[in-house]
Amino acid sequence: MLTIHAADLVVGGAEELPDGAVAVDGARIAAVGTLTELTARFPGARVRRWPGVLGPGLVYDGPLPDAPSPRERVHAVLKRGATAVLAGHAETAELRGAAERNDVRVVADGASALGALAAGGRADLAVFAGEYGVGEAVATVCAGRLVHRRR
């Protein structure tokens, strides 16, 4: 099912879009534009409206947070809007397995960005209430799946 994720501001694409949105079809971005444009283009899509700033998922660049299990360590990263971790910090088979099961990418050490929001790209998104990339994410979408939402 095609889903449109909309926010007060979308960053990380060709331009900043007030009242912007990203249409997601499966694990890929179908389109980026204003909410008005995308709801007209995809009239049957489910719309999720998030307060704040929506942008590309982040790369978590430190050791994964402490938690009782590898799955919970990966989930702690998702809560921070990250959809990728550095290989050097996913050092065990258990952590890599937990990342893979949650569609979290393991990227080369030193990577700092996953790329811009663009049609055809992987649907890795993060929404923050205030400044983009700061604090806990309001929502995190990893490979098109909503994997974290703050209540």
Rounded Cα gap, residues 113 and 98, in angstroms: 21
Q: At what angle do helices 70-78 and 93-101 cross, to 10 degrees?
A: 50
| Cα distances (Å, whole numbers) of residue 22 to 16, 66, 86, 108, 117 | 12, 32, 26, 27, 8
- What mean pLDDT, rounded, does the chain reach? 95
The rounded percent of the chain whose pLDDT value lies above 70 is: 100
pLDDT at 110 over 90: no
Cβ distance 126 to 139 under 8 Å?
Answer: yes
CA nearest neighbour of 113 among 141, 72, 137, 84: 84
In this structure, are 93 and 125 located in the same domain? no
**Number of folded domains in the chain?**
2
In this structure, are 23 and 90 located in the same domain? no
In this structure, are 51 and 118 located in the same domain? yes
Handedness of CA 65, 70, 75, 78 (dihedral sign): positive
> What mean pLDDT is predicted for residues 127-139?
95
Exposed / middle / buried, residue 89 (Cβ in 10 Å: 0-12, 13-18, 19+): middle
pLDDT at 151 over 80: no
In this structure, are 70 and 52 located in the same domain? no
Cβ distance 127 to 5 under 8 Å?
Answer: yes
| pLDDT tens digit sequence for 40-70 | 999 999 999 999 999 999 999 999 999 999 9
- Domain limits at 41? 3-57+114-149
In this structure, are 47 and 120 located in the same domain? yes
In this structure, are 10 and 53 located in the same domain? yes
In this structure, are 14 and 81 located in the same domain? no
In this structure, are 47 and 118 located in the same domain? yes
- pLDDT for the residue numbered 66: 93
What is the model's pTM? Answer: 0.93
- pLDDT for the residue numbered 115: 85
- pLDDT for the residue numbered 13: 83
In this structure, are 101 and 73 located in the same domain? yes
| pLDDT tens digit sequence for 73-107 | 999 999 999 999 999 999 899 999 999 999 999 99
In this structure, are 53 and 125 located in the same domain? yes
Q: What CATH number has the domain bearing residue 24?
A: 2.30.40.10
In this structure, are 50 and 122 located in the same domain? yes
Listed residues 73, 90, 107: the one ending a domain: 107
What length is written for the chain?
A: 151
> What mean pLDDT is predicted for residues 106-120?
90
